């Protein structure tokens, strides 16, 4: 296994059409169905990054900013933003496509954490991420801040130990 991989190597693009069975009584895509699609795209991106079976550790953030109507074409773009020891943060951007113009508009997003495991369910080390674009670099840096905050909130890291996090708030 390589020690480092480009963030772009993990990219997963998944496209779906919203069928009647995917919608609620208002004709909008069920949030749970979108969550399923997000989890699938996110796990594919994580698996591409580490070359191992992965499990979902957390859905850290999900937004349902814009309702997605029946018959809409939905594209999900998932990519690993940062890897830690055995876990990877994956950001999934959700777009809806205007079927007449072909224009895609971002309508939702999610951030999830996946862990690489072996056949016994034991976590495995994963390659580090090399961000290249400005967006990848921004997401890479933000992933560390989110992880530190999560560790502080869970009590696994004391605020005094997170000097990099403190410097963001004390200016």
Buried-exposed string 53-88: b where 16+ CB fall within 10 A, e elsewhere = bbeebeebebebeebbebebbbbbbbbbbbbbebbb
DSSP 8-state symbol, 32: H
Handedness of CA 153, 168, 78, 71 (dihedral sign): positive
pLDDT in tens, 50-107: 999 999 999 999 999 899 999 999 999 999 999 999 999 999 999 999 888 889 999 9
Total domain count, the chain? 1
138 within a domain of the structure (yes/no):
no
Cα gap 129→133, rounded to integer Å: 12
Once rounded to an integer, what is the mean pLDDT over residues 132-143? 96
Tell me, yes or no, if the pTM score tops 0.75.
Answer: yes
Average pLDDT, the chain: 90
Torsion of CA 63, 97, 141, 116, to 10 degrees: 80
| pLDDT tier for residue 168 given thresholds of 50, 70 and 90 | very low
Residue 133: strand, helix, or coil: coil
Residue span of the structural domain in which 112 resides:
4-131
| pLDDT tier for residue 24 given thresholds of 50, 70 and 90 | very high
71 within a domain of the structure (yes/no):
yes
Element (H, E) at 146: helix 134-153
Share of the chain above pLDDT 90, in %: 77
157 within a domain of the structure (yes/no):
no
Cα gap 81→125, rounded to integer Å: 16
Q: Find the CATH number of the domain harbouring 67.
A: 3.10.129.10
- For 101, phi then psi, to 5°, come to -95, -20
Q: CA–CA distance from 102 to each of 24, 96, 109 (Å)?
A: 25, 10, 20
């Amino acid at each position: 296994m390589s020690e480092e991989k480009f963030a772009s190597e993990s990219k997963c693009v998944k496209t779906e059409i919203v069928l009647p069975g995917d919608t609620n009584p208002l004709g909008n895509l069920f949030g749970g169905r979108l969550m399923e699609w997000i989890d699938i795209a996110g796990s594919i991106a994580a698996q591409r990054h580490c070359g191992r079976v992965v499990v979902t550790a957390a859905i850290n953030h999900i937004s349902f900013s814009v309702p997605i109507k029946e018959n809409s074409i939905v594209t999900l773009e998932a990519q690993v933003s940062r890897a830690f020891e055995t876990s990877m943060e994956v950001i999934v951007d959700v777009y809806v496509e205007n079927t007449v113009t072909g224009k895609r508009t971002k309508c939702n997003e999610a951030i999830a954490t996946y862990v690489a495991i072996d056949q016994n369910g034991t976590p495995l080390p994963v390659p580090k991420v090399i961000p290249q674009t400005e967006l990848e670099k921004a997401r890479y840096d933000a992933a560390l801040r989110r992880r530190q905050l999560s560790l502080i909130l869970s009590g696994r890291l004391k605020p005094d130990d997170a000097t990099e996090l403190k410097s963001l708030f004390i200016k």
